[in-house]
Amino acid sequence: MESQRELTNLDILWIAKDMERELVQNQARLDQFYDLGERIIIKFKTKIGKKDVVFFPPEYLFLRESEKTEAENTPFASSVKNLLLNRLLKSVKQLNNDRIIELEFDSASLILECTKKGNVILISEGKIKNLKSRIAERDRALEIGAVYAPPKNEKKGVKFETILEALNDKEMQNEKIVVAITKRVSFPAFYVNKIFESEGLDPKKKVSELKDDKRKEIAKRIDGFYKDVTESNAKPISYQNEVFLADEQMLRRLSGWKETSMSNELLQSYTKKENLAKEKEKGKRMEKLLDRLKHQEERMKNLESQIEEEKRKGEWIIQHGHEVTKIIEQYKEIRKKGNKQEMEEFLKKNNLELTKDGIKIKTAKQ
């Protein structure tokens, strides 16, 4: 998996089923909760061992074997642990046919919103107890004490009738097929494209170019694909450097695919991304270190130059001690007289300059 796309609502549905099977059916209890900024790691104890749920929206939500995690506690993490630590996980389910999962415990629930903004919300008795992000939204109240409601989803459910209705909508006739379907129905564009590719159809074709029987055929195909996913009759596959869900009809039309685990593929992609981030951070630290060393080298050269200059002046004074004594005496006499012109001529003749501390040699005589 070279690059990770955003997860769709169908991927989230599949992942929720995986979590239900691996966690709920194995009597999972919350063992630890880590708030790592953009990432959340939820640790569970189960009767078959320890598992982690890694949440990094909108690209990552997956299960893995538990790994060591180190992080400072945060107020949000504390509130989650206060309510849920060692509590039994009762169910994992998708909400509103959207990219949202509810982890329901016997005392409260955790909502994972795998949208672009992303959020983790702690609710009890339907009300928000705490939340990761408090960014205001126009269509719902996201604040402590408010009744939790998922983001509004005005799209219709995935059925033969709703898909056909979208394709027959007069307002959609000049739209691309993929746009017409995804504007009206909760079915992701990514999977519309995958279905059309496997069937040899063009999803960018205008709806008006479709005949009635073709519209029905498309509606039937998407409805059947959705049912196969919801009834677990599909499977995650790796195909041409992408990972996605495919049903039997799609698999018959593809060659060179390999069955895989969505969680394992997401884990590999996530690990690669983490390693690249670490290498990038290491590179930045190295650049700072090299810049600091360069600065120190420049300072060292300046100091060495100053030392060399002072050394030359000192050697000159030692070699010309008698002359120096004589010059100092002359300077004192002229200063007593207060003759400004005579002082200027004296300084010029002996290559000297006045400072607040007395006289100074401009350039050592050879």
The DSSP symbol for 232 reads T
Contact present, 31 and 25 (Cβ < 8 Å): no
Report the alpha-carbon distance of residue 281 to residue 19 in Å, rounded: 33
Residues 6 or more apart in contact with residue 123 via CB below 8 angstroms: 108, 109, 110, 111, 129, 148
Q: Is the pLDDT of residue 194 over 90?
A: yes
Distance CA 331, CA 316 (A): 19
Q: Can you list the positions of beta strands (E) in the chain?
A: 29-36, 39-46, 49-56, 60-65, 89-94, 100-105, 109-113, 119-124, 127-131, 235-239, 242-246, 258-259, 352-355, 358-361
Using pLDDT thresholds of 50, 70 and 90, give the confidence band for residue 70: confident
pLDDT digits (tens, 9 = 90+) for 224-246: 999 999 999 999 999 999 999 99
Same domain, 15 and 112: yes
With a cut of 90, say whether residue 162 has pLDDT above it: yes
Q: Are 196 and 214 in contact (CB under 8 A)?
A: no
Q: How many structural domains does the chain have?
A: 3
Do 28 and 85 reside in the same domain of the chain?
A: yes
**How does pLDDT run across 318-334, given as a tens digit for each residue?**
777 777 788 888 888 88
Evaluate whether residue 204 is within a structural domain: yes
CB 249 within 8 A of CB 235: no
Domain end position, chosen among 111, 131, 151: 131
Provide the whole-model pTM: 0.77
Does a structural domain hold residue 142?
no
Mean pLDDT of 2-25: 93
- Pick the more confident residue, 336 or 195: 195
Q: What is the pLDDT of residues 138-158, one digit of tens each?
A: 888 899 999 999 988 889 999
- Among 46-55, 107-116, 283-292, which stretch is predicted with the lowest mean pLDDT? 283-292
Same domain, 107 and 185: no
Same domain for 84 and 178? no
341 occurs within a structural domain:
yes
In a domain, 269, yes or no: no
What's the CATH code of the domain at 81? Answer: 2.30.310.10
Amino acid 292: pLDDT: 82
Domain range for 194: 160-260
Lowest mean pLDDT across 8-12, 191-195, 283-287, 295-299 = 283-287
Does residue 2 lie within any of the structural domains? no
Residue that is last in its domain, among 229, 260, 291:
260
Range in 60-69, 102-111, 227-236, 292-301 the model is least confident about: 292-301
Q: Are residues 21 and 122 in the same domain?
A: yes
Q: Which bin fits 200, alpha (ψ -120 to 50), beta or left (φ > 0)?
A: left
Instruction: Tally Cβ neighbours within 10 Å of residue 362.
Output: 10
Whether omega for the bond prior to residue 58 falls within 30 degrees of 0, making it cis, is yes
Counted residue by residue, the chain has a size of: 366
pLDDT at 366 over 60: no
